[in-house]
Amino acid sequence: TAGITQAPTSQILAAGRSMTLRCTQDMRHNAMYWYRQDLGLGLRLIHYSNTAGTTGKGEVPDGYSVSRANTDDFPLTLASAVPSQTSVYFCASSASGSGSTDTQYFGPGTRLTVL
Amino acid sequence: GENVEQHPSTLSVQEGDSAVIKCTYSDSASNYFPWYKQELGKRPQLIIDIRSNVGEKKDQRIAVTLNKTAKHFSLHITETQPEDSAVYFCAACKLSGGYQKVTFGTGTKLQVIP
């Protein structure tokens, strides 16, 4: 089973350009999440989705948007990248939606550098 | 909001010794406490977890203890091996505003010296 996959593995992006980070899970999990991981700041939640068709804002949502058209996919879009968005981005999923706390499983990450 | 403090930030132990990492949380609504191991350049991976109705859980060389009254939980690794070297994150989870809010500690870099 693949679990959670992310693409691309890494990317260098010019400031002002847009980009979509892809995330796909095959575990039929209800909830999906996007985190960014920065040295010294740990993992911070950008956006989440409890179930297909719904999304919500996390701790650091500015400059990012998400969609959840189906259960498996949860893309993250940077409309106009800025250097402060340089980070490692992790997608995660958990079986439960909004009903209970549950283990989150992480994808392999995307390393993004904005110049 | 929830605040999770994790100590120490770095830890070096000799192979075969034990390692202990401690976390405290602030919100009594947190009811699920996972621990993740992250190797360099890799994803965080769950190694053990505990729910608020349990005081201790063990899985081979790894154990977690929880003191709800003190809002304190700890990771214990016995008979450490070089492959245990990694960054370990604790987390406190609760339902908040319609989603599962996970607050992570800032990580402990464990080095096991052969």
- pLDDT at residue number A1: 55
Tell whether A10 lies on the interface with B, counting CB pairs under 8 A: no
Helix (H, G, I), strand (E, B) or coil at B82: helix
CA A34 to chain centroid, in Å, comes to: 3
Q: Render pLDDT for A45-99 as a digit per residue (tens, 0 to 9).
A: 999 999 999 999 999 999 999 999 999 999 999 999 999 999 999 999 999 877 7
Helix (H, G, I), strand (E, B) or coil at A73: strand
Chain A CB contacts of B93 under 8 Å are: 101-102
Give the gap in angstroms from C-alpha A1 to the nearest C-alpha of chain B: 16
- pLDDT at residue number A42: 83
Q: Render pLDDT for B104-113 as a digit per residue (tens, 0 to 9).
A: 999 999 999 9
Chain B CB contacts of A101 under 8 Å are: 31-32, 93-95, 100
Selecting from B49, B98, B99 the residue whose C-beta is nearest the C-beta of A103 gives B49
Length of chain A: 115
Selecting from B89, B100, B105 the residue whose C-beta is nearest the C-beta of A31 gives B100
- pLDDT at residue number B96: 83
